[in-house]
Structure 1
């Protein structure tokens, strides 16, 4: 179904499920455009977590009493629901972590430290978030593996010719962001995964900015590993997901140890439990898992295709409005299918941090800084950028308020 055929969102009704959007500061209603950092959480997610704490709060996989059984079932069903959401082959392929960053570290420590060495190559992109770039960079230093970066071209897209040069039979893993949190670029992750597999390498995809706002099918992408965070998809903080193909996860050793992930322990040695529990030691994020389950239900009720269409439309509208301003520089592709729901930009003569402070006076929340992509900002020749990012509850009128508020910044710094 094309975007034109999709039934538009009832944004007004959706906003009613987010009481925080009604908050006012100095008589001005909040305009929340910092969704790439954290989305807001709808009532059904908050209610699900509250109900868990009020009715079923207990530790999982540790007791035979009723409350523990209820909590364990809820926790396991959350894995099942997330697996269904991304089209994984069951709960065994869904590991709960704290966030995308921990998911990346789990793979890097469990696989990278054991498998990488001198002569191996790690291929990243120049638009990687620090969660990926720093992690693999440091693993490379510890193992002697070489780290190379696929270039970003002048349009903000990956140079796929360069990718084909970089990925060789010496490449052990290709790690790429699905949607750039700075440029908004939607990368050809299936093509990158195919390229990795052609050379016998693994693929890891950082989906933190993709899973919240577009349908993601891990089988279609064929990624060996894929990660994302609950707090960017209308869910709670404190929970993330590492998807991995089951045969690969079976081979990996855990990098965190403790209760709940073992099969047998003696004074001399230990053996690990079944997937996914062998990667989830200690008391896990039970209430957060319940919340993530509710968030997935909520997102699918809204419709992932409709969410993607709404975000693309808002990003295109914001891009066009900003591009019409003579003193604004925008980074990344033009609005459309190649851009996710965010726009990073700078206003001539106004530092991004100053701009954000002035917008805050209008109760408009955006992000300023390097967005955890310092090397990319260095490549762009800028110290920082302002970033407006959108979600299912944002409107064109809020984009208009952002554009109008830029005049205040111009006047103050004229």
Structure 2
């Protein structure tokens, strides 16, 4: 009945998204917040709200973000997605294989799976995920650390958190090799 979209997952700005819903699903929704365009009328006896999607659109819309998201969608519409997928898959395989060769690194992702993306979760057996993130940051590599909105999975894996790299269209093989070199240096220096 619903599909949620996040602009920043589509090369767009943060702070904006979309919710697609069937008319039937929308008819069952009540107001979450009030104000702005979602009000049909206000009197001393109460308020009447608009129907459909307008019911969920309160306050001033995020105009600049919407324009930015539109530009991102225009840019994405010109991308050869098959070529992009092949590029990301190649980078992910290179990164995953390289990480598996480093002592102490456990890789949780399998980029060979057809449904895999460019995200690779990993953990060092003796370096905490937070420390790893800080050490990689010092080398110029921004990664995510934590439970990645998947605490039940972390519990099933028997870990508190993992590190995650996310590879995409703009990443290069040289960057992956540089990342692996820096990761190897960290593990040799701090993981013993």
SS in 1 for 2:13: coil
Q: Choose which of 10, 23, 34 in structure 2 pairs with 1:257.
A: 34
Name 2:139's counterpart in structure 1: 362
Shift of 1:293: 0.8
User: How many residues get paired?
Assistant: 191
Deviations 1:323-344 (A, max 9, x none): 2334321113343422111000
* TM-score, normalised relative to structure 2: 0.89
Q: Choose which of 61, 75, 96 in structure 2 pairs with 1:319.
A: 96
Q: Choose which of 176, 182, 186 in structure 2 pairs with 1:399.
A: 176
> Are the aligned partners of 1:356 and 1:365 in contact in 2 as well (CA < 8 Å)?
yes
Name 2:166's counterpart in structure 1: 389
Deviations 1:51-105 (A, max 9, x none): xxxxxxxxxxxxxxxxxxxxxxxxxxxxxxxxxxxxxxxxxxxxxxxxxxxxxxx
2:62 is aligned with 1:285: yes
Task: Give RMSD over aligned pairs.
Answer: 1.9
2:48 is aligned with 1:271: yes
Name 2:186's counterpart in structure 1: 409
Distance 1:247 1:338 in 2: 31
Name 2:125's counterpart in structure 1: 348
> Are the aligned partners of 1:260 and 1:281 in contact in 2 as well (CA < 8 Å)?
yes
SS in 2 for 1:379: helix
- RCO higher in structure (CA 8 A, sep ≥6): 1
SS in 1 for 2:77: helix
Q: Which runs of 5+ in 1 are unaligned?
A: 1-223
Misfit runs of 4+, over 6 Å: none
Shift of 1:348: 2.6
Name 2:72's counterpart in structure 1: 295
Deviations 1:220-277 (A, max 9, x none): xxxx211121122211111011111223213322211112112222222322224322
SS in 1 for 2:3: strand
Q: Which runs of 5+ in 2 are unaligned?
A: none
> Are the aligned partners of 1:263 and 1:273 in contact in 2 as well (CA < 8 Å)?
yes
Distance 1:341 1:334 in 2: 7
